[in-house]
């Protein structure tokens, strides 16, 4: 069920009252106690993504090729990988504030990482696509992004590029297998293989030395600050929607977030909470790319969402923990390239 936290401060206060959040202490962190505490908020990432049990290797291989296919753009310059780069060990983003499309015009939102995307409650910042297949259909026909005029054009371009036999092999027994839905399904099958691996999960599973003392202190500070009100679960986020500026108003009042999807006044300035997995590599941050680096993002979230002015030591400590979420397992893309 999709939920939204109305008052993060109240949640944080409640957790503190129940003893789930310890007061900030300068003493050395007890690793076992910290793990037990963290277990109330976080879980390791599963080894497989929902829906992957139905994917075949042929579909994954086709989807990987399509992910890099520039023929899916109006002028043959743009692919999924252009904005969500997974080549060369990159973190599923282009590290741009907003991404340029095939014709050079930029969108108005930051491109989120494709890593772990299939674990999210929905796709896009405003949640307008329910799953990876639905998401894959959007950018191809978006005039600012890949710019194709319609589905038929996409199918015709893929057929001309020699994909007919590949679709038939990936979707056997299907008449006219080269179609727009199968294109999206194949891309989604590939994206369901993009699961990060990091040292935090090793710590959660019992390996104390997977995190340094400073990283463990950063985790403690992350919990103490109240960040866990939204950034929790397997992804440390990605499972709920939240207003941008719960306590103090966010300066960007142009983008109305989910309101454009639901037309519900309660959804004004509401966005999907991002995952924090591999977050240190995906700058700039927020839906509009408004935070240029991780330290700024941490400070800003403390102010806009929690009503707290985190000091430099707290920011640095939390940043140290978040860097422990760096992906250790980049996708291999040589064959697609």
Q: Note if 145 is an active site residue.
A: yes
Contact (CB, 8 A) for 98 and 289: yes
Closest of 161, 218, 182, 154 to residue 59, by C-alpha: 182
d(CA 60, CA 259): 35
d(CA 217, CA 235): 20
Q: Which of 69, 145, 215, 319 is catalytic?
A: 145
d(CA 316, CA 321): 9
Residue 279: partners with Cβ closer than 8 Å, 6 or more residues away:
285, 294, 322, 325
Burial environment of residue 1 by CB neighbours within 10 A (0 to 12, 13 to 18, 19 or more): exposed
Hey, which residues does 271 pair with through a beta bridge?
242
> Where is 64: in which H helix or E strand?
helix 57-67
- Return the structure tokens found at 176: 């006219």
d(CA 135, CA 123): 6
d(CA 137, CA 159): 17
Question: CA 276, 279, 284: angle at the middle one, nearest 5?
Answer: 120
Active site residues: 145
């Amino acid at each position: 069920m999709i939920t939204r936290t109305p008052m993060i401060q109240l949640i944080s206060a409640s957790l503190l009252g129940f003893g789930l959040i310890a007061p900030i202490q300068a003493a050395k962190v007890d690793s076992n106690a910290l793990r037990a505490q963290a277990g109330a908020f976080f879980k390791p990432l599963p080894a497989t993504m929902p829906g992957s049990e139905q994917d075949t290797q042929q579909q994954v291989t086709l989807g990987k090729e399509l992910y890099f296919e520039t023929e899916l753009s109006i002028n043959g310059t743009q692919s999924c990988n252009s904005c969500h780069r997974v080549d060369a060990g990159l973190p599923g983003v282009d590290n741009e504030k907003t991404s340029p499309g095939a014709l050079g015009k930029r969108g108005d939102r930051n491109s989120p990482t494709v890593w772990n995307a299939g674990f999210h409650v929905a796709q896009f910042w405003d949640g307008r696509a329910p799953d990876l297949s639905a998401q894959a259909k959007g950018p191809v026909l978006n005039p600012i992004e890949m710019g194709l005029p319609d589905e038929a054009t996409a199918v015709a371009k893929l057929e001309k590029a020699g994909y007919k036999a590949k679709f038939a092999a990936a979707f056997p027994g299907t008449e006219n297998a080269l179609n727009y839905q199968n294109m999206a399904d194949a891309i989604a099958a590939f994206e369901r293989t993009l699961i990060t691996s990091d040292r935090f999960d090793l710590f959660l599973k019992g390996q104390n030395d997977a995190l340094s003392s400073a990283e463990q202190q950063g985790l403690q500070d992350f919990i103490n600050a109240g960040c866990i009100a939204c950034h929790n679960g397997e992804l440390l986020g990605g499972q709920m929607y939240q207003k941008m500026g719960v306590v103090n108003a966010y300066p960007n009042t142009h983008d109305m977030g989910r309101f454009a999807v639901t037309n519900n006044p309660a959804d004004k300035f509401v966005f999907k909470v991002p995952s924090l997995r591999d977050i240190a590599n995906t700058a700039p941050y927020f839906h509009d790319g408004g935070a240029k680096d991780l330290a700024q993002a941490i400070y800003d979230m403390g102010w806009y969402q929690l009503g707290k002015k985190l000091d430099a030591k707290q920011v640095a400590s939390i940043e140290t923990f978040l860097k422990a979420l760096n992906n250790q397992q980049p996708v291999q893309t040589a064959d697609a390239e």
